[in-house]
Amino acid sequence: MAFGPCSLEDRVYRERSSTEPPFFFMYGCLFADLHVSLPIDAFTVKELNVAPTQLHPNSWASMQAFRIVCRTFGLRPLPSCFLHFYSSYPAKLASWQSLVSRAGSVLFKPFTTSYKNFKGKFFKVYVEPTGTRYFFDEVGRSRFPLFWSRSPTKITDWPRPVHPSEHERLVFALFDSLPRKLPARPLMLLYNATDRAEAFEGMLFFMHLVLLFSALCSD
C-alpha cells in the first residue's frame, strides 16, 4: 500500500479513471480517532455494500467499539453478530450512510454527537501489486466497494442465526451480558491498553458508579 494526497478537484464519491492505478479514499479521522487499520478486512463495509468513505464516522466508531470489545475477550468480531443490532436505511446516492441502533438494542453511545470537519480530510490509498490479495480476490473482484456504491444494502432486520456457530453463540452471549449504551469514545482508549480486560472492567465499574450516583440524586 502507498498513500497519496488528493487534488482540490477530488471528491470521495468519484470513481477511478481507467488511466489511474487502483486506489480508494479514506478519511484521516478513521485512523486518528478510531484506530482503523489497513488492510481493511471488509468486516462490515462489504455486507453494507458501501465504500469506506461512504459510511459515516460515527458508524465506523460503532464497528470499532464492537471489535475492541470482542478482542478484549479473545473473540473474533462477526458481521452476523454486529448487524443483528443495527439497521441501515440508504438515502440518496450523494449521501453518507449511517447505521441506526435498533430499539432496545443500543450497544454503544455515539463517539461524538457531532462529527465535524471530517468530510474534507481524506487521502488516497493506492493498492500496490504486493498487496493486491488484500483488496481483490482471485478473479480480480474487489473485496469491498472501493468507491461509493449506487446500491447500498438496506437492512431492516438481521435475525440471529437459528443454528449459530459456536463462535457466534459466544459473541452473542458476551453482548447479552453487557450493559447497553457503552460509551464508544472511552472504548477507543482501550485499543492501546496494556491490560485491555482490566481496563474494560474498570470502565464498567465507573459506569455503575455513575448510574448509582444518578439514582441517588433523583431520589
The residue range of the domain holding 202 is 2-218
Mean local confidence (pLDDT), 151-171: 92
* Residue 142 clears pLDDT 60, i.e. is over it: yes
Apex CA 63: angle with CA 106 and CA 42, to 5°? 140
* Residue 218 clears pLDDT 70, i.e. is over it: no
Q: Do the beta carbons of residue 111 and residue 32 sit within 8 Å?
A: no
Q: CA quadruple 201, 83, 43, 96: dihedral positive or negative?
A: negative
Mean local confidence (pLDDT), 163-168: 94
Task: Write down the pLDDT at residue 211.
Answer: 58
Determine how β-strand 86-88 pairs with β-strand 108-109: unpaired
Mean local confidence (pLDDT), 96-116: 89
* Residue 151 clears pLDDT 70, i.e. is over it: yes
Q: Pull the grid cell for residue 85.
A: 443490532
Best CA proximity match to 178, nearest among 72, 76, 60, 87: 72
* Residue 94 clears pLDDT 60, i.e. is over it: no
- The total domain count for the chain is 1
Q: Pull the grid cell for residue 164.
A: 449459530
Mean local confidence (pLDDT), 36-44: 83
